[in-house]
Homo-oligomer: A and B are copies of this chain.
Amino acid sequence: MPEDTAPADLTTMRFSRAREAQSMAVLEDYAEMIDDLAKQMGEARITDIAARMGVTHPTATKAVARLKREGLAVSRPYRGVFLTELGAEMAARVRMRHRVVVDLLIAVGVPPETAEIDAEGLEHHVSEATLKAFEAYLAKRG
């Protein structure tokens, strides 16, 4: 085995972390989007959530059901969806991280439109440590 290869158990841990991060991605994106809609439209309706996510309304309903199950949102039949305090905190955190990721990409030379697109997937795999490093890099750059 080449010495530039990490031990197998460290490799395994990397994959586990990536899977774990991915399992949060849907939750994070919906939380942020519901918060966006609440700010822009006054409330987040299932149809609007679905339209923005690019999915059908039953898919959005299922995602919201998961958010509710995890204590991140509440809703009553035929009414809008609202974030709990926990959900709002997640939304704020996710929005900030998203912005930092986009800014960093642009700072290292990625075209802004591309940065926006790629960030939507990248953001969910940026750890706290990496986020801090990004912020430090951006601060240093002014």
Contact = CB atoms under 8 A, between A and B. Distances in A.
> By DSSP majority rule, is chain A's interface helix, strand, loop, or mixed?
helix
B136 A126 contact: no
Question: Which 4 A-B pairs give the minimum distances between C-beta atoms?
Answer: A121-B125, A18-B121, A12-B54, A14-B120
A54 B114 CA distance: 33
Instruction: State the number of copies, please.
Output: 2
Question: Chain A interface residue count: which class?
Answer: 35 or more
Of A11, A12, A108, A121, the most chain B CB neighbours within 10 A belong to A121
Interface of A: 1-2, 5-6, 8, 10-18, 21-22, 25, 29, 36, 40, 51-54, 104-105, 108-111, 114-118, 120-122, 124-127, 129-130, 133-134, 136-137
